[in-house]
Every structure is written in C-alpha cells, then in structure tokens.
Amino acid sequence: MDRPPLSIASVTTYTAPIETDIAAYRAAGAEGIGLWEYKLPEGRDREILELLRQSGLTASLCCGTVPSVFADTYFTEPGEPAERVTAMCASVERLAAFEPVAVLCVTGDPRGRDTEGMRRITVDGLRIVARVAAAVGVSLGIEPYRADAGSLVTTLPDTVKLIDDIGEPNVGVIADTWHFWDLPGVEDDLRRYADRLIGIQINDYREPNRGWCDRRLPGDGKIDHRSILGALDAAGYAGWYDVEVFSDNGLFGNHFPDSIWDLDPYEVARRSVTDFDQLWRGRVAREH
C-alpha cells in the first residue's frame, strides 16, 4: 500500500451507530477508526471491542466525551476544571481497552477568561491526565484550533511549547488541516515539528465558510492538501491520517443542504478513502 495508515473519525458519519461505522470503514479500505466516546453504548465495550478486532481496524485518534480542562463551544459540560479533569481521566481509562494510537485533547476556549491563569490550570490538568494515560499505556495528542475557534494554542510552535510545559513523554501533537492550512509558514512548521506529531486530522475548508461545523471531505474545498502531504512526507512523518468531517445537518443549529452527515455512511467512507488516496498520489514537496 503506497500510503500511510488512514482512519476515519466516527464523527464523519455522526449519526450512524458504531457497528455501521466499523463495517463501512472496513469495506472502504481504511485501516483504522477514530473512536469518539459518545458513539460507545454504555455496557457494550467488550462487544464493540470484539467487533473492532474482527474487522482488523485499529483505534486511531480517539476522543472522550470531555477532552479539555476548560469548556469550549462544542465540549460544554461539566463546567468546572476539576470535574473535567476527572472526566478526562475516566475517558482515557475507558478508551485504553481499545488500544488507541492516541486520545485527543484540546485546551478549551480562553475568550473572556484570565488567559495566564487558564493556561496554568490547563498545564496542571493535562499533566494529571497524561500520567493516568501513561499508567494504562495510552498516549495523548493535543490539538490546536484556529484562532477564531477559541483555543489557548493555535499554531504548532504554541502547541509544542504547551506540551513541553506539561513535561510528560506520552504527549504529542494532533494537527487538523482545517485549523492550520492557512497559517503563515505552516509547511515549514510541519517539517520542523514532524517528530512531535502523533496524528493528522484531514478534511477540507468550504468557501464561503458557514461556520465550524461546515467542513468538506478532503479534496472538496480550498486546502492545498497536496503540498501539506508532500511536506509531511518529505519530513519523514509516517503516522496516522484521520478523516474528520463536521458537517451540520441540524444537530448544531444549521441544516446545510449539502451536509456530509446526510449521506449514506458507506458512501462517505468510500469517498474518504478514495479522495485521500488521490491526494496522496498527487502530493508535492515544495523546495524550502
């Protein structure tokens, strides 16, 4: 197979049951699934784990119901950082049974907060979560958001600095093309920090953009994925790519007529794999 390992995040087929996700992603030729905890029915973890093992899919970039020490516009509850850290640790321990490549963490929204104090509490909280994760053999991946999405870290250098402050060896970076594609010098940053990356989430940016929950399948928007993939490949990154598409069909206040979430999950999975394969074959490493 002339490409790196590819998974599909279960939010890409947001309303489908996890059994359908597993079957559709395997049928499409993906190697993994990004498990999101909200998809796992209570009391059925052993059953889902057995389905996953039978499918041959790897649990790749997985996400708990609470992935940040502070709330943001998507991950809103509970409100208090201490409660959220407790919930994060519980999610890590639950997801550990699926042997994930990494469990995703974000920072929460700093707007309207004391940023310095929030950062200190976030570092302390993520250090606690990282140590719990290490005890169960799990790595964490911290994802920076676009500046207008509300995040303590918005660039790769910012994120690496935050991870260095946490100071735990099982923490890396998960970078999302929707959040970083238009940052100045981003390809240089990808080369510079390739060894800190634990996963790349991939999707596309619609123009005009209608909000955070208006993403496209890779290759269907304006992101120059061929150059991004070329830069990562040239830098030696050989880790996981994870197709992760938020595309509102009314769940978050907007029912976009071209919502990916309204499509058949098998079709979404097939397009996720074929579109990525096409972009990978066309990757270009620019001189720098």
Banded model confidence at residue 1, pLDDT cuts 50, 70, 90: low
| Residue entry with tokens 């794999």 | 273
pTM metric for this prediction: 0.96
- For the segment 279-283, the average pLDDT, to the nearest whole number, is 96
What fold does the segment set 6-281 form as a domain?
Answer: TIM Barrel (3.20.20)
Banded model confidence at residue 100, pLDDT cuts 50, 70, 90: very high
Distances (CA, A) of 59 to 65, 105, 137, 258, 270: 16, 16, 14, 29, 18
pLDDT exceeds cutoff 80 at 236: yes
The larger pLDDT score, comparing residue 2 to residue 176, is at 176
Residues 6+ apart with CB under 8 A from 199: 60, 61, 101, 102, 141, 172, 174, 175, 239, 240, 241, 242
Share of the chain above pLDDT 70, in %: 99
Domain boundaries of the chain, sorted by first residue: 6-281
Q: What is the pLDDT of residues 263-279, one digit of tens each?
A: 999 999 999 999 999 99
